[in-house]
């Protein structure tokens, strides 16, 4: 949002006039019906009034949802003042007020300036959300709404912010690290490869952490050509396979890019009888998902949900540099597809006996295509 933000709520928030004034929160009144009388819930009807009406005829007052037309009349002057609106409302499971606010914003053709948030709370819970939102706004920090809970356990989050999103995130949080890394990094770039360029990945491709600029230069001096691909690692990479039948496992999608320069380099290497060695399962998934059946590569950009497990025929990759992975992960299945299950079990047994370090910042291994090596003997 580039305009100032006004936070609004319906009158069920029960915030005192002093708090509403202090945090500049505006409320749209519901309608109260008591007996034959109807009037707005603007604070004029007190608990004493409620008790008096109950003593008189034994009826309790009821509230009616704010109508779309009432919302339009409430929103319009706020928009005219130059504000964008974040409207927080009582749970949609309890009232149609939230739906009416959405309808009003749509009919006003102002959905891009009126952001309706279903609090999924009663009055006090919603009031706390409004107060927290006001505090974030006053500090120049973003607020966020969980817009949808996805089947895989992830959540789709909608942010309300001003400025450049990545700069805002840098002010708010820290680089996410695996839970088994306890020490906080002083330099965030220590959890990046030396050749990282593009923002977007949920985690660093950890096999690449073993490479330094000096090591890459030594590799080039040996006559090895180096090409780069991009894969935005998704959180699903770390999700274990729980299905009895692995083909029932729903693989996550990840965005990848292969440049024309890298595609030409791979094709030239294969044509000259050379080997393609991938650094990390990320690089492997990228090239294997975009290669033709004959192993030729083309420049491309798009999504991949490739799932590589034993029985897969590799089209491009001849060898792999990779770290040691978690049991039941799709990554260890990929490694087993290349090396064979028995070779992998033997390698892990040796690693445990020799006390190799596992996972991120851990040790790596080099794996050739064992199956092809055995065929050539």
Q: DSSP of 45-81, one letter per residue?
A: S-HHHHHHHHHHHSPPPEEEPPPHHHHHHHHHHHHHT
Quick one: pLDDT at residue 1? 47
Radius of gyration of the chain (CA): 29
Given a contact cutoff of 8 angstroms between Cβ atoms, the answer to whether 206 and 280 are in contact is yes
Q: What is the pLDDT of residues 314-327, one digit of tens each?
A: 999 999 999 988 78
Q: Which domains does the chain have, with CATH numbers?
A: 5-30+65-172 (3.40.50.10170), 191-376 (3.40.1780.10)
Q: What is the pLDDT of residues 158-212, one digit of tens each?
A: 877 777 777 777 777 776 666 667 777 677 777 788 888 887 776 778 889 899 9
Q: What is the pLDDT of residues 27-68, one digit of tens each?
A: 888 888 777 777 777 767 666 777 777 777 777 777 888 899
Q: What is the mean pLDDT of residues 115-138?
A: 83
pTM score over 0.85: no
Quick one: pLDDT at residue 375? 40
Quick one: pLDDT at residue 73? 93
Q: How many residues does the chain have?
A: 377
Beta bridge mates, 158: 145
- Give the Å distances, CA to CA, from 126 to 65, 92, 207: 16, 12, 46
Least confident range of 20-24, 119-123, 330-334? 119-123
């Amino acid at each position: 949002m580039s305009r100032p933000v006004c936070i609004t709520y319906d009158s069920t928030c029960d915030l005192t006039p002093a708090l509403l004034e202090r945090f500049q929160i505006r409320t749209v009144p519901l309608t109260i019906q008591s007996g034959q009388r109807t009037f707005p819930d603007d604070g004029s009807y007190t608990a004493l009034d409620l008790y008096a009406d109950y003593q008189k005829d034994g009826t309790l007052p009821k509230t009616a949802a704010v109508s779309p037309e009432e919302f339009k009349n409430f929103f319009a002057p706020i928009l005219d003042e130059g504000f964008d609106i974040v409207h927080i409302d009582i749970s949609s499971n309890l009232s149609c007020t939230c739906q009416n606010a959405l309808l009003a914003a749509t009919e006003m053709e102002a959905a891009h300036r009126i952001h309706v948030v279903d609090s999924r709370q009663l009055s006090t819970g919603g009031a706390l959300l409004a107060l927290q939102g006001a505090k974030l706004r006053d500090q120049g920090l973003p607020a966020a709404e969980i817009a949808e809970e996805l089947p895989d356990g992830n959540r789709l989050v909608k942010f309300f912010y001003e400025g450049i999103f990545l700069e805002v995130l840098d002010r708010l949080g820290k680089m996410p690290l695996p839970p088994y890394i306890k020490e906080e990094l002083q330099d965030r770039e220590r959890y990046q490869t030396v050749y990282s360029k593009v923002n977007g990945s949920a985690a660093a491709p950890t096999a690449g952490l073993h490479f330094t600029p000096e090591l890459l230069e030594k590799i080039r001096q040996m006559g090895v050509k180096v090409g780069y691909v991009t894969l935005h690692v998704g959180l699903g990479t770390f999700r274990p396979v729980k299905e009895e039948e692995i083909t029932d496992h729903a693989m996550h999608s990840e965005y990848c890019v292969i440049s024309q320069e890298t595609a030409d380099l791979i094709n030239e290497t294969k044509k000259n009888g050379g080997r393609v060695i991938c650094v990390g399962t990320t690089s492997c998934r990228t090239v294997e998902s975009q290669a033709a059946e004959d192993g030729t590569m083309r420049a491309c950009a798009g999504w991949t949900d490739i799932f590589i497990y034993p029985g897969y025929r590799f089209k491009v990759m001849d060898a792999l540099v990779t770290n040691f992975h978690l049991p039941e992960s799709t990554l260890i299945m990929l490694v087993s597809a290349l090396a064979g299950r028995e070779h992998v079990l033997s390698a892990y047994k040796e690693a445990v006996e020799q006390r190799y370090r596992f996972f991120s910042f851990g040790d790596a291994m080099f794996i050739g295509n064992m199956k092809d090596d055995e065929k050539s003997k």
